[in-house]
Every structure is written in C-alpha cells, then in structure tokens.
Amino acid sequence: METVRGYLDESVKIGVREYYFTGGEPFLNRDMVSILELTLTYGSATVLTNGTVFQEEWLERLSRAEADSPYSLEFRVSIDGFTAEDNDPIRGPGTFERAMKGVRQLVDHGFLPIITVTRTRDDQDETALFYGFERMLRDQGYSRPRIKILPTLRIGAEADRGRDP
C-alpha cells in the first residue's frame, strides 16, 4: 500500500485526476479494495473487470468509500455475448453466469456498471447486439443499463486469422 500511496502522491504532482485499473482481473489482487479506497481520496477511479470474483464485503466497502468521497468509482465489466452460448466459448465455461452475478451485485450496491462488449465477429449487427444486451440486462434487474460496444482489434495472430495463405 505504501508503494501505491507513493505513486498516487507522485501522480498529483503531475496533474493526474483520474485513475484506471485493469489486469488481468484487478480483484485478484488481495489489496484491490484498499487500493480503490485510497485512490478515491485522490481522484475518480475506473476499474476494468470481468465481474466474476466480487465479494459482498468488498462492494459494501467500495460503496461506502464512494459515498464518502467527492470522486466517483466506475466499473466496466467485460462480457462478450448476451447469452452463455455466445460468451462462454470466448471467456470460458460458466463465465457468463458469474459475470451476470457480478453485474447484479454492482447494481444492488448502487453502482451503474458499463458493460463493455467487443464485437467478436465482423458480420455482427451492432444494433442487434446492443438491444440484445439491453434486453438481457433489464431482465437481470439492471433498469438503466450502460453498454459500450468496441470493434475487434486485430493485432498479432488475430490480424492473420481468416486470411488466405
């Protein structure tokens, strides 16, 4: 935590006002909740997560920390399909249900997570994808869903996939 505090102190000196945490999965770091609590004393924080490992105690603490802070705490949850059949081949078996549980937990604690979707096929209809996610999220009890659709970024081996040799 002292290393984190040092970086946060240094960031203030150079004018940083917003902080982003990503991974892998940031919440696999045992100190992530404490790091976010501390960060909210310096500025707004955004966490990019797959939403699959939340614990109620963590979200209670983070909800209180945000309420006590002049800064906001945002969550961006990565989900690649609005059904398990679309998501799990990309993210792994059972991840859709675990991610949806995480979204419900966030909503239940007063957060409005941004669901970040990557178009996984070039032929996907973005409008249908958006409304599929919106419908699914509303069915899960998320009454004001926030959805961000990203294009597939083809780099490395992914850039060569599907090309004729």
**Domain annotation covers residue 91:** yes
**Domain annotation covers residue 11:** no
**What pLDDT shows up at residue 22?**
95
Alpha helices per DSSP H over 68-116? 84-91, 95-108
Residue type, 146: R
Residues 117 and 145: their CA atoms lie apart, in Å, by: 13
Task: Count the domains in the chain.
Answer: 1
**What pLDDT shows up at residue 21?**
97
Which residue(s) pair with 146 in the sheet?
Answer: 114
Residues 149 and 161: their CA atoms lie apart, in Å, by: 21
**What pLDDT shows up at residue 29?**
96
Residue 140's CATH number: 3.20.20.70
**Domain annotation covers residue 157:** no
Residues 154 and 103: their CA atoms lie apart, in Å, by: 28
**What pLDDT shows up at residue 159?**
64
**What pLDDT shows up at residue 123?**
80
Q: Enter the pTM of the model.
A: 0.88
**Domain annotation covers residue 31:** yes
**Domain annotation covers residue 165:** no
**pLDDT digit string (tens) for the chain, length 165 residues:** 999 999 999 999 999 999 999 988 999 999 999 999 999 999 999 999 999 999 999 999 999 999 999 999 999 999 989 999 999 998 999 999 999 999 999 999 999 999 999 887 778 888 999 999 999 999 989 999 999 998 877 667 656 655 555
Range of 107's domain?
Answer: 2-6+16-152
From the centroid of its chain, how far is CA 91? 14
**What pLDDT shows up at residue 152?**
75
**What pLDDT shows up at residue 164?**
54
**What pLDDT shows up at residue 161?**
59
**Domain annotation covers residue 160:** no
Q: Give the residue from 64, 14, 22 showing the smallest Cα distance to 42.
A: 14
**Token pair for residue 101?**
């549980």
